[in-house]
Each structure stands twice: as C-alpha cells, then as structure tokens.
Amino acid sequence: MGHLGQDPEVVNLESGKKLVKFSIATNEFYYDSSGEKVSSTYWHNIVAWGKTASFIETYIKKGQEVLVKGKLVPRSYETKDGEKRYITEINCSEIAPRSQKA
C-alpha cells in the first residue's frame, strides 16, 4: 500500500497492448535508541498491462493511496551512455484505490 508520486504513464504499444507505469511511495516508521521517531520513504516501480492498465488509466491519479497486488520482476536495461542497469519492478495484477478521507 502506498501513494502515487505522479499520474500513471500510459504507453500504447504497436501490438495494440496497453502498458501503464507508475511509482508508489511507502513509509516505514520506527524509534531510534534515543526514542526519536524516524521515518524512511521507499519508492517502488509498478507496471500493469491490459484490463488492469485500462482501469489504472481511468481511475488512479497522483497522490492517491492504493493497494497493489502483483509479483516482483527483475529486469535490466541499457542507459543512453551504454551502461547496463538492473531494476526490480512490481508487475501489478490487481489494484484497489483506498477510500479518501473526508
């Protein structure tokens, strides 16, 4: 569960398939040895395809809190400078928007 940092990016592929990419932020809170509350934010890259992508395109927006279900998928890509990079994304199979506070 996390909050979207920006609106999802929609990619319509030549094959006719739809891909949506977005990131969510999750927070971890704990108390250090002196009793001070410490918070850490982590960003997670999410990708979705097909009907899930269409749902996200229509209903999911920046700042919204969502619950994501999917699997971790490692992949590599090459930068413009020819450097190989490795990342892990969440391949989203289901997404549920959380209720907005009144």
The total of structural domains in the chain comes to 1
Read off the pLDDT band of 102 (50, 70, 90).
very low
Residue of 68, 74, 75, 65 whose CA lies nearest to 93: 68
Q: What is the CATH number of the domain that holds 38?
A: 2.40.50.140
* pLDDT tops 80 at residue 10: yes
Looking at residue 101, its pLDDT comes to 55
Integer Cα distance of 70 and 92 in angstroms: 4
- Return the exposure string of 73-94: e unless at least 16 CB atoms fall within 10 Å of the residue's CB, then b: eeeeeeeeeeeeeeeebbebee
Q: What pairing do the DSSP bridges indicate for beta strands 84-97 and 37-49? A: parallel
Domain that holds residue 14: 2-97
**Residue 102 counted as domain residue:** no
Domain annotation covers residue 19: yes
Q: Is residue 87 part of a domain?
A: yes
What is the structure's pLDDT at 99?
Answer: 73
Look at residue 54 and give its three-state secondary structure: helix
User: Does 52 map to a domain?
Assistant: yes
Q: What is the pTM of this model?
A: 0.82
pLDDT digits (tens, 9 = 90+) for 43-97: 999 999 999 999 999 999 999 999 999 999 999 999 999 999 999 999 999 999 9
